[in-house]
Chain A
Amino acid sequence: MQKIEEMDIQSSADVVLVRQAVRQFAIEVGFGLVDQTKIVTAASELARNTLDYGGGGTVKLETLQEGGRRGLRLTFEDQGPGIADIEMALKDGFTTGGGLGMGLGGAKRLANEFEIESVVGEGTRVIVVRWR
């Protein structure tokens, strides 16, 4: 059965809650410890981006079932300033904040599928999927 949950990301405490919820979902889908850690870490990066750069937003957690395989899709959305140059943002070491500049690219590498859409002045949507 498909499970869906939507959560707000408005403070760093929410980032912790998102991590916990993603771990819970990952366990339910039947992810092993390594896959759990990967998707939780990707969620942590993206949730923090949503908070720090997007000025807060939401995340939607969905379990997926496709043929014989199961997975987890996370959709992060914010109505922030948007990203002008996505290619640049994905580059390791590039940051407009004070971070390491590895989060977005790292999240992409940790996921099986990665999609990013952003319109300057309107907001950003990042979708990651991890299959079992």
Chain B
Amino acid sequence: MEMTHSSKIPEILKTHETELLSEWNQELLATNTRKGLIKEAELREECREFLKLLRSAAQSGNLSNVQATEWREVREMLTSISRSRSQKGFTPTETATFVFSFKRPLFDRLRQQLLDPAELGEEVWQATDLLDHLGLLVMEAYQKSREEVILRQQEELMELSTPVVKLWDGILALPIIGTLDSARTQVVMESLLQKIVETGSEVAIIDITGVPTVDTLTAQHLLKTVTAARLMGADCIISGIRPQIAQTIVYLGIDLTDVITKATLADAFLMALKRMGTTIARK
């Protein structure tokens, strides 16, 4: 951009830093609808820091490419602001306002300092372009930190929903909750087989009370898990087959005759105890 060299913006940022900061602060505090989420002093400090970095980056004369090296510190700061805003529960609009609210003080300054309309137009355009790019950067960082949260939650869910519990000496239970898609089935299968080895268990009860839909793929995954457990010397009992699931399995034509199934986890547990030669008597 040939105009970049003669831009007055770096100079204005330098000479009017204090006024810009106080006007921007007022602007931000006036639009700050979430006073509970961020302290006034903290906001002030962020403004001061940002303006300082913006000023020094602008001195390079490059106002059109915020991806360049001289803008690295500004980018890092905006990223960290977006991250903390998104964690505190700010909306995307509220987060982006941090950058966009700087437009008014800056444009006011430009209007005061530049008398030639053509020059003013060009400078305002450059300032808009710059602040828009920085605003987009904020949005991208905000989005990214949200995505990280979702990803983390997905991983947590995957772990959470497949605990293998020991019911008795030699008896394990695997209560499955949610959808049995292939990625999760892998985790389920691994954690069950691992626990069978660790505990030397002879019976494993897979409870599917919490599985909303049992279709052929789910059944196939279950059958594979049962077969693998059997190869390791453990018998599997599938429990928690609700009436509607039982009917559906019949219509689907899935053959579960090789697998021991029970309606409830309690029934399955009793059967497992019997198999271990243990009985429970009421006192």
Contact = CB atoms under 8 A, between A and B. Distances in A.
A105 B214 CA distance: 15
Given A38-B244, A106-B254, 5 more contacts: A37-B213, A41-B214, A99-B217, A99-B220, A106-B215
A109 B253 contact: yes
Interface in B224-283: 243-245, 247-248, 251-254
Contacts of B244: 33-34, 36-38
15 contacts: A19-B212, A19-B213, A23-B212, A33-B244, A34-B248, A36-B244, A38-B244, A38-B248, A45-B215, A45-B216, A99-B217, A100-B216, A103-B216, A109-B251, A110-B251
Query: What 5 A-B pairs come out closest when comparing CB atoms?
Result: A106-B252, A37-B244, A44-B215, A109-B251, A34-B244
Nearest to B219: A100
A23 B244 CA distance: 14
B179 A16 contact: yes
Contacts of B253: 92, 102, 105-106, 109
A47 B98 CA distance: 45
A100 B181 CA distance: 15
Interface in A32-52: 33-34, 36-38, 40-41, 44-45, 48
B182 interface: yes
Chain B interface size, as a band, is 20 to 34
Nearest to A106: B252
A40 B213 contact: yes
Nearest to B244: A37
Interface residues of A, number: 24
A28 B212 CA distance: 18
A100 B216 CA distance: 7
A101 to B, nearest CB: 8
Contacts of A24: none
SS class, residues of chain B in contact with chain A: helix
A102 B213 contact: no
B219 A34 contact: no
Interface of B: 179, 181-182, 212-217, 219-220, 243-245, 247-248, 251-254
A34 to B, nearest CB: 5
A65 interface: no
Interface of A: 12, 15-16, 19, 23, 33-34, 36-38, 40-41, 44-45, 48, 92, 99-100, 102-103, 105-106, 109-110
B226 to A, nearest CB: 14
A102 B255 CA distance: 10
A105 B251 CA distance: 9
A106 to B, nearest CB: 4
Contacts of B219: 100
Given A100-B254, A102-B254, A38 B216 contact: no
Of A34, A38, A100, most buried by chain B (CB within 10 Å of CB) is: A100
Contacts of A92: 253
A70 to B, nearest CB: 19
B247 A38 contact: yes
Contacts of B216: 45, 99-100, 102-103, 106
A131 B43 CA distance: 61
Given A12-B182, A33-B244, A44-B213, A38 B251 contact: yes
Contacts of B179: 16
Contact of A106 (B182, B245, B251): B251
A12 B181 contact: yes
